[in-house]
């Protein structure tokens, strides 16, 4: 398995992107690749409300692309909400539906790497130890933190069934992911006082919230490549549909769209979000200016939110 907790702006179709081609090669060689979606969900540079901000190689339809959820520091999942900074699809240029699923990624505690860049820049994120011991743990946030949570789930699946292919692992994680979400949730930045509202549609949460127990209990097997679908817009009606090859996903009873992505392909979408210019953007979108243009937040502020959480 490869855990890819990093990303870069999309410059070209995944068919031409060398980074995407590299992760595809690993996938086709039998290696599960799990990739962070990106932390640009607050970007509204072009009135896109954080949509179209998935980074490469998370835009590749083969890999498992992961968004970040907030756990509210409780053991239950019913109060969990999406992190406003978690990047949303569809992907630039190719309109691939991403992320594939979401997992806990906000203010996660893990082992500290003393002397590392993040350790030195965000000393306040160190978890204080008792007595005179140096802090051994560190708190971080972002889709880069959510990604290894899914990688851990992949490890458990492969430990349980080593013969599973990358596509079978991906399909099982997506099918068993929880589809229960609120209509929307909001968070107000304590510094800028800007309120960010997230809608729990397919471009925000993908197939749902990681359910490790459900994935381990499931025995269904995908019969081919579990490629993430393409979202197709009908310009005459303004309606969007998923382009899914059912022969690839296998039986429509087991792997049908409503089973994998919930009862509605575009769950809880609002008319504001689904307007053509918001989700689909200009037909000439290309390069970094679309994703990385001027925002209400400075680059350093955006990085701090993604690192320290909300």
- In tens, the pLDDT along 74-113 reads 999 999 999 999 999 999 999 999 999 999 999 999 999 9
169-224 residue pLDDT tens: 999 999 999 999 999 999 999 888 999 999 998 899 999 999 999 999 999 888 87
Which pLDDT score, from 0 to 100, does residue 231 have?
86
Residue 48 confidence class, pLDDT cut points 50, 70, 90: confident
Does residue 137 carry a pLDDT above 50? yes
Distances (CA, A) of 222 to 18, 35, 62, 161, 254: 27, 21, 14, 14, 9
**So what's the pLDDT on residue 178?**
93
CB 83 within 8 A of CB 103: no
CA distance 41 to 97: 15
- The pLDDT confidence band at residue 269, using thresholds 50, 70 and 90, is very low
Model confidence band, residue 305 (pLDDT cutoffs 50, 70, 90): confident
Q: Where are the domains of the chain?
A: 2-106+141-308, 112-139
Closest C-alpha to 310, from 50, 143, 53, 85? 85
Given a cut of 60, is residue 241 above it in pLDDT? yes
Assigned fold of 2-106+141-308: Rossmann fold (3.40.50)
Q: What is the pLDDT of residue 255?
A: 52
Look at residue 245 in the predicted model and tell me its pLDDT. Answer: 59
CA 251 to chain centre: 26
pTM of the model: 0.87
**More confident position, 161 or 237:** 161
Tokens of 139: 């708190």
Question: According to the model, what pLDDT value does residue 57 have?
Answer: 98
* Reported confidence tier of residue 259, pLDDT bands at 50, 70, 90: low
């Amino acid at each position: 398995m490869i855990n890819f907790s990093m990303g870069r702006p999309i410059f070209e179709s995944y068919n031409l992107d060398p980074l995407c081609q590299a992760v595809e090669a690993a996938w086709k060689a039998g290696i599960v690749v799990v990739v962070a979606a990106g932390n640009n969900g607050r970007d509204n540079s072009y009135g896109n409300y954080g949509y179209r901000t998935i980074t490469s190689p998370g835009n590749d339809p083969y890999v498992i692309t992961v968004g970040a959820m907030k756990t509210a520091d409780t053991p239950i999942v019913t109060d969990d909400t999406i992190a406003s900074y978690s990047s949303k699809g569809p992907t630039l240029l190719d309109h691939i539906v991403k992320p594939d699923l979401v997992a806990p990624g906000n203010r996660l505690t893990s082992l500290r790497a003393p002397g590392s860049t993040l350790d030195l820049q965000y000393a306040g994120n160190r978890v204080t130890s008792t007595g005179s011991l140096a802090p051994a743990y560190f708190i971080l946030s972002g889709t880069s933190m959510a990604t290894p949570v899914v990688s851990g789930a992949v490890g458990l699946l492969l430990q349980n069934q080593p013969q599973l292919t990358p596509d079978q692992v991906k399909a099982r994680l997506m099918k068993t992911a929880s589809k229960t979400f609120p209509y929307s949730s909001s968070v107000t930045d304590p510094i800028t006082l800007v309120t960010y509202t997230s809608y729990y549609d397919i471009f925000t949460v993908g197939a749902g919230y990681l359910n490790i127990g459900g994935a381990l209990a499931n025995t269904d097997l995908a019969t081919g490549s579990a490629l993430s679908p393409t979202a197709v817009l009908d310009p005459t009606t303004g309606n969007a549909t998923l382009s899914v090859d059912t022969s690839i996903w296998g039986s429509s009873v087991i792997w049908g769209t409503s089973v994998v992505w919930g009862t509605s392909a575009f769950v809880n979408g609002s008319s504001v979000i689904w307007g053509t210019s918001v989700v689909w953007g200009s037909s000439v979108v290309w390069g970094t200016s679309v994703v990385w243009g001027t925002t209400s937040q400075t680059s350093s502020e955006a990085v701090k939110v993604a690192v320290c959480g909300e």
